Amino acid sequence: MAPFAPSPYRPGMGLDPPYLGDRDIQIERFRTFLAEPGVPRNLLVTGLRGVGKTVLLRHYSDEAESSNWLVISREFSDADAQPDVFARTLLTDLTRLARRLSMSARIKSAAAAVAQSVLESLGSLSVSYGEIKVAVSAGRQATAKLNRLDDDLRDVMMQVGDLCLRSEHPGFILRYDEFQVVRERRGWMTLSALLSSVAAVQQAEIPIMLILCGLPPMRENLARSKSYSERMFFTEELGNLRPPEDRAALIDPAARLNRRYEDEVVELAMQETMGYPFFIQLYGDILWRGSSGTTITRADLQRLRPDILDVLDRGFFEARFVRASTEERRILRFIAVDGESTTVDQLQRRSGRQNNQLQPHLSALVQKGLIYRASRGHVAFTAPMFGAFLRRRPE
């Protein structure tokens, strides 16, 4: 139908957008970090789902690799958050780094023996968690000597760091996404071991950078595991795109392919999406595909708006809603009564429940990424138009 190029927009997860809006500050700051490998730096990247955390991480990697840093990236899942899996995962990542370093030109010619001995010692590592023994290399027996995870991590990071200093790489980065799933449990070291070992090797001037990315509860998880965690990290809190970058994210990709939007369309799209990056991609995509003029008009938007809402309802909103329990769904509906946010006082009145009955459900909804505490005593939906979705969704 449309005599135009395929849609340039990228609604989805972690898909690089055609125009990266409103991230210059973060990327510029990251470049200054890369320029000073001797200065200990770690980054927390947080923000609600769909604001573009994973996309920014991808750009971090590109920046880092183009300055010759080594980057190990991983997306965590619930399974990886199990303490034994967590231990093996981290040690495996460090082993991967050691292997990559051992291939580096300078190491090959000058420090091959050192690299070989590091790799051998990594291969025989095993960590104990009470009764559970974790061997890093599958198939190897755990050796008799069992260590605590924090000790092992620190030793391994030191060795890898030492290799790195002998190589042509300025430093190495552990870049972990969806990290809100990892929590410290009593008697099972996870976060605390990672933080304390990174802090220790950074004090020894090893050029390691830790980048942890996840939903906002990640910060609380970290703070609980180590009181100094706030001082270890620079935090990038990502939010919706701000004007004029929100508009550019919609307009620019079309303009590059010789299409434009009527101003009114842009204004309406910004009002509805509130600059939420995922929605901007989705609006752009559906408007692009569903219209055929060089200019995308107000009439196009009116005609296509039901399609947009339908896609959002059946995919995005419904997928979120089903994560809530029956009681949590009731609370969501009470929040949505007259808008996209409300106060806890209002909620108590509407639901007839006491604050102490409500709070556990609210916390669960925050953990699930459905609502956030906008300010003291206020709760709001994490996605624009979620309240409107609940109001039009049949019970």
Ligand X SMILES: Nc1ncnc2c1ncn2[C@@H]1O[C@H](COP(=O)(O)OP(=O)(O)O)[C@@H](O)[C@H]1O
Residues forming contacts to ligand X in the complex (CB under 6 A) are 10-15, 17, 20-23, 47, 49-55, 241, 249, 277-278, 280-281
Residue 277 interacts with which of ligand X, Mg ion, none, CB < 5 to 8 Å by class: ligand X
As to burial, measured by CB atoms within 10 angstroms (0-12 exposed, 13-18 middle, 19+ buried), residue 231 is exposed
Give the residue carrying structure tokens 């939010």: 239
Does 46 bind Mg ion (CB under 5 A)? Our answer is no
Q: From the CB of 211, what's the least distance to Mg ion, in Å?
A: 13
- State the nearest-atom distance from the C-beta of 253 to ligand X, in Å: 9
Using rule CB under 5 A, residue 126 touches Mg ion: no
Angle at which helix 245-256 crosses helix 277-290, to 10 degrees, equals 30
Min dist. Cβ of residue 267 to Mg ion (A):
29
> Is residue 273 classed exposed, middle or buried when 0-12, 13-18 and 19+ CB atoms within 10 A define those classes?
buried
For ligand X, the closer of residues 236 and 300 by Cβ is 236
Q: According to the binding rule CB under 5 A, does residue 54 interact with Mg ion?
A: yes
Exposure b/e, 67-101, CB count within 10 A at least 16 = b: eebbbbebbbeeebbbbbbbbbbbbbbbbebbebb
Nearer to Mg ion, 54 or 229 (CB): 54
Q: How many residues does the chain have?
A: 395
Closest to ligand X by CB, 209 vs 383, is 383
Q: Which does 35 bind (CB under 5 to 8 A by kind): ligand X, Mg ion, none?
A: none
Q: Shortest approach of ligand X to residue 273 CB, angstroms?
A: 11
Which of ligand X, Mg ion, none is residue 249 near (CB under 5 to 8 Å by kind)?
Answer: ligand X
Q: Give the nearest distance from C-beta 136 to ligand X in angstroms.
A: 29
- Binding partner selected for residue 281 from ligand X, Mg ion, none, CB under the kind-specific 5 to 8 Å limit: ligand X
Residue among 170, 221, 156 at smallest CA distance from 191: 221
Element (H, E) at 91: helix 83-102
In terms of CB distance, is 49 or 219 closer to ligand X? Answer: 49
The rounded distance, in Å, linking the Cα atoms of 102 and 160 is: 10
Of 319, 304, 286, 312, give the one whose Cα is nearest residue 384: 312
Please state, in angstroms and rounded to a whole number, the distance separating the CA atoms of residues 278 and 320: 14
Can residue 382 be called a binding residue for Mg ion (CB under 5 A)? no
Nearer to ligand X, 14 or 38 (CB): 14
DSSP string for 111-179: -HHHHHHHHHHHHT-EEEETTEEEESSTTSPPPS--B-HHHHHHHHHHHHHHHHHHSS-S-EEEEEESG
Other Cβ atoms less than 10 A from the Cβ of 2: the count is 13
Given Mg ion, ligand X, none, residue 209, with its beta carbon under 5 to 8 Å by kind, binds none
By beta-carbon proximity to ligand X, the closer residue of 63 and 327 is 63
387 binds, among Mg ion, ligand X, none (CB under 5 to 8 A by kind): none
Q: CA 269 to CA 275: how far, in whole Å?
A: 9
For ligand X, which is the closer residue by CB, 41 or 53? 53
Interface with Mg ion includes 180 (CB under 5 A)? no
How many residues interact with Mg ion (rule CB under 5 A)?
2
Q: How far is the CB of 261 from ligand X (least distance, A)?
A: 16
Cα gap 233→334, rounded to integer Å: 37
> For residue 261, which of 1, 70, 91, 9 has the smallest C-alpha distance?
9
Q: In what order do the strands lie in the sheet with 378-381?
A: 341-343, 378-381, 371-375
281 binds Mg ion (CB under 5 A): no
Closer CB to ligand X, residue 129 or residue 321? 321
Parallel/antiparallel/unpaired status of strands 132-135 and 126-129: antiparallel
Closest alpha carbon to 52 in 300, 273, 351 = 273
**Smallest distance, ligand X to C-beta of residue 131, A:** 37
CA 301 to chain CA centroid, Å, is 32
- Number of residue whose CB is nearest Mg ion: 54
Instruction: Considering the complex, state which of residue 49 and residue 247 has its C-beta at the smaller distance from ligand X.
Output: 49
| Nearer residue to Mg ion within complex by CB, 155 or 177 | 177
* Residue 15 interaction partner, one of ligand X, Mg ion, none, beta carbon < 5-8 Å per kind: ligand X
Least distance to Mg ion from the beta carbon of 54, Å? 3
> Applying CB under 5 A, which part among 35-43, 49-57, 64-72, 203-211 lies near Mg ion?
49-57
Residues near Mg ion, by CB under 5 A: 53-54
